[in-house]
A and B are shown apart, each in its own frame.
Chain A
Amino acid sequence: MTAQEQTIAQPRPPKGIGPMQRREMRLAYLMLAPTFLIILAIVAGPLLANFWISFKPVQLADLRPPSVLVNERMRGKPAAPGDAATLEYRLRNSSQDKEIRDVVLRDQLPAGFDVTAVPETCTVQGLAITCDIGNVPPKWRERLRFEGTVSESYLSADRPERASVPEVSGDADNVLTNFEFTFENFSRIFDAHEFWSVLRVTFYYTIFGTAGALVLGLFAAQLLNTSFKGRGFLRGLFLFPYVSPVIAVAFTWVVLFDPFSGTLNALLTKMGVVADPINFFGQRAVEFSFFGIPMEFPLALSTVIAFEAWRYFPLSFLFILARMQSLNTDIYEAAEMDGATPLQQFWYLSLPQLMGILSVLFLLRFIWTFNKFDDIFLLTGGNAGTRTLTVDVYEQGFALSNLGAGAAVAVVVFVVLVTFATLFLHFSPKEEGL
């Protein structure tokens, strides 16, 4: 048998991809291309840019590149044709520490102004002025004076020097695009005494917030798992905290817990539960003694965690309820026949079957809680011991206007997050469809 005959005798699946498949592939890439371009531009690009910025000494003010500011005015008060006047440009480098290269000023002379003396850096062609000033140092100031006389047409016009706006061009070093790098941002944030407390608060907030939302969600799902009248209404009601805008619910909590005019404190003091109003969002810690051992309870942080659990329990509730309703009921009937008590049924039948969705929810919520910024920012602004990493990004970047340091904290956030995501992909149960 020749080699050719052998090939014919034993049909094998074609290697490579056929024309049909290639067409399908091309179509798929075409359909996905816009989506991925957008995501690359808005998500992946900024992620990389964040690393770039974190190694740069960028201040918020550096976003406006240094430029030469110019102020044009006429001096002298010409009253009759032939009177002398001076056209003056005051120039100034806006930056205190950066030079600007190749500065050129361009403008039109006012109509009816005859120039007699021109500054040495400037040339006049017709009405057009061009001044080639060259490189200017930081804090540089300069005046350019054009002496001249005025004619009738100048006097008849209203402020003729305003007819054209002077233009200044120049190249300045843009700190965002140059190749100046520094580790200063990182050393600053890691050396800061508060950074480690921020990290600790972040993990407290994330772990307890996640656990709270899951436990509340599990409890709520248990309540609504049996069918009764008004179940749909309650399910809708329980989802309210999750679907309402964060600004609305956060400010409502702030108003509700206010120490002076808040309903909750008024209730507690009037009913004699506490003697003085409690500043739930403003007090860092409450001291108490536990069997004679003095302890501190982080009050503001706990209130923020309670808010987190309150706002996000609906999501876990929804997922757990959906999973519960798809559980097989046969085994419960069998267990009932065998005399298993309700708690035993929950513990030995329901919980093991819910473990998959619970672990997925835990990981997802853990990551999302870790990423949360708005809630804490709106509730406490990161004060009273509630500053998490995400709030620290804002504090460093915008409140202290040090973009570089903010980006450095953002890099820390991202690194921790990648660790979580890797763990998540590694441990997430495959049968839950993720």
Chain B
Amino acid sequence: MRPGSVLIAAITGLIWGVTAMVVIGVTLTLVTGEVALPQATAAGLAGLLGALVFVWRQTSDAAGLPAWALSALVTTLVLLAGTFAAPFTLPLSSVPLWQMAGLIAFVGCVTAANKVSLDGASLGAMSRYHREVIYIRIFKGIGFVVFTIIVALPFYVMVMTSLKSQQTLLANPLDLSIDLSQGFDGLFRSYVELFTKFNFGRYLMVSAFVSVATVILTLLFSVPGAYAVSRLRFPGQAFLSRSVLLIYMVPAIVLVIPLYAVFSQLGLRNTLTGLLIVYPATTIPVALYMLQGYFRGLPSELEEAGLMDGLSRLGVILKITLPLSLPALASVSLYVFMIAWNEFLFAFMFLDDPDIFTLSRGVVSLNSSEVPRQHLMAGAVIATVPVLFIFLWFERFLVQGLTAGSVKG
């Protein structure tokens, strides 16, 4: 038995006990609306003893209960003893089922985490290699928990807030549970109001129109451009393909004042035409850059064969290159769609007329003290859902397209 190994096991258990308790306690609070104060000290102690028992049992290799079962038992008993049988400091009568589930989740998570982290650990001597393996397991475990929480929590809050009413929100900001008793109408009241009173159906149509038109215009211009840059030889080719990327770095805020001035004089401000001039111009460089990377990767022999067989250049592009690059076209379209759908600055600066607001602009107009918060969040959900849906559908394409553009190999 070496103090170093015992210390590692103890620290592992302590970390998992505290982490699991905080996460599960907070989750319980948010889901049920009852304030559950996580008992971190007792939970840490429970995890610590559970881990020690696990490692001891694993080392001694004794017959009887498996190491994990014994560890789970010890964890449960220590936690219950340390918190006087109220692990979440809630009376047992309040939300008993949720508390039961929380307790089971806690014991399950801590035991599983200890088992995964300390698998193969012994109370005897451990090499530096083995110790580092354990550190990395802990690190990764914490990483998964933290990343999942920081990504999922805002979206959870967004959706749940949109389903609440102003009074319940102010009464208990922690209560993010779904109150099914108010029925369908009560639950989705802010959505219904957005579509009936705040014109969101129209904004949705405008956003969809602007985004799709931007995608079409962008492809129309960037496909020939990308083909020329990647396949044809001409003086200034390298300069052109490089300057395209530089143009992508020009910030929109630098363009906004001159465009505002010129569009005001030409009467293009406060029109969708104005947006449809600006959006493709800002997305064409990216699209061109992504597409030329893909076109370069296509075997040119196929196109040469087509040329030999008497197809014109245009025929080659339409009949050979484009069908071969459908995945790239899909990813570029998706990316451009997302840029246009999510765009805020130009829509905010150019559009004054509520009849032609895009979704971004419409949601910003909800950000006032007269409009309740849940409407703002419902607007955010409406703006997010279509783009997330499309993204999940085409995720593979997007990831390939994004990374293929600039990373080789």
Main SS of the interface on chain B?
helix
Of B256, B373, B383, B408, the residue contacting A255 (CB under 8 A) is B373
A417-B247 Cα distance, complex, nearest whole Å: 11
The reply to whether A341 and B225 contact each other, CB–CB distance below 8 Å, is: no
The reply to whether A413 and B227 contact each other, CB–CB distance below 8 Å, is: no
Chain A residues whose CB sits within 8 angstroms of the CB of B388 once the complex forms: 240, 243-244
Chain A residues whose CB sits within 8 angstroms of the CB of B284 once the complex forms: 35, 38-39
A30-B345 Cα distance, complex, nearest whole Å: 33
A38-B280, A243-B388, A342-B136 known; A390+B157 contact, CB < 8 A: no
Of A237, A261, A322, the residue contacting B407 (CB under 8 A) is A322
A421-B282 Cα distance, complex, nearest whole Å: 18
A387-B167 Cα distance, complex, nearest whole Å: 34
The reply to whether A243 and B387 contact each other, CB–CB distance below 8 Å, is: yes
Of A21, A35, A249, the residue contacting B233 (CB under 8 A) is A21
Interface string of A39-59 (1 = CB under 8 A from B): 101110111011011000010
Interface string of B269-284 (1 = CB under 8 A from A): 0000000011011101
Of B154, B233, B242, B341, the residue contacting A252 (CB under 8 A) is B154
CB distance from A181 to the nearest CB of B (A): 16
The reply to whether B132 and A43 contact each other, CB–CB distance below 8 Å, is: no
A263-B175 Cα distance, complex, nearest whole Å: 8
A186-B293 Cα distance, complex, nearest whole Å: 42
The reply to whether B408 and A431 contact each other, CB–CB distance below 8 Å, is: yes
CB distance from A244 to the nearest CB of B (A): 5
CB of A189 closer than 8 Å to a CB of B: no
The reply to whether B224 and A43 contact each other, CB–CB distance below 8 Å, is: no
CB distance from B257 to the nearest CB of A (A): 5
CB of A267 closer than 8 Å to a CB of B: yes
Interface string of A229-272 (1 = CB under 8 A from B): 00000111111110111111101110110101111011100111
The reply to whether A238 and B147 contact each other, CB–CB distance below 8 Å, is: yes
The reply to whether B281 and A42 contact each other, CB–CB distance below 8 Å, is: yes
Closest to A51 in B: B258
- Number of interface residues, chain B, beta carbon within 8 A: 105
Closest to B132 in A: A341
The reply to whether B402 and A29 contact each other, CB–CB distance below 8 Å, is: no
CB of B210 closer than 8 Å to a CB of A: no
A9-B152 Cα distance, complex, nearest whole Å: 76
Q: State which size class the interface on A falls in.
A: 35 or more
CB distance from A326 to the nearest CB of B (A): 5
A38-B170 Cα distance, complex, nearest whole Å: 51
Selected interface stretch from B101-109, B183-191, B259-267: B259-267
CB distance from B127 to the nearest CB of A (A): 9
A272-B37 Cα distance, complex, nearest whole Å: 9
Closest to A388 in B: B253
The reply to whether A27 and B232 contact each other, CB–CB distance below 8 Å, is: yes
Q: Which of A376-432 contact B (CB under 8 A)?
A: 378, 390, 393-394, 397-398, 403, 406-407, 410, 413-414, 417, 421, 425, 431-432
Chain A residues whose CB sits within 8 angstroms of the CB of B158 once the complex forms: 248, 252, 255
The reply to whether B281 and A39 contact each other, CB–CB distance below 8 Å, is: yes
Chain A residues whose CB sits within 8 angstroms of the CB of B84 once the complex forms: none
Chain B residues whose CB sits within 8 angstroms of the CB of A393 once the complex forms: 253-254, 256-257
Of B30, B224, B253, B384, the residue contacting A244 (CB under 8 A) is B384
Chain B residues whose CB sits within 8 angstroms of the CB of A371 once the complex forms: 249, 251-253
The 4 closest A-B pairs by CB, nearest first: A371-B251, A42-B281, A49-B258, A248-B380
25 CB < 8 A contacts A-B: A25-B232, A39-B281, A43-B247, A50-B257, A176-B261, A234-B147, A247-B344, A247-B364, A248-B383, A252-B157, A252-B158, A252-B377, A255-B377, A256-B154, A258-B173, A266-B172, A319-B402, A339-B129, A342-B129, A370-B251, A371-B251, A373-B252, A393-B253, A397-B256, A421-B249
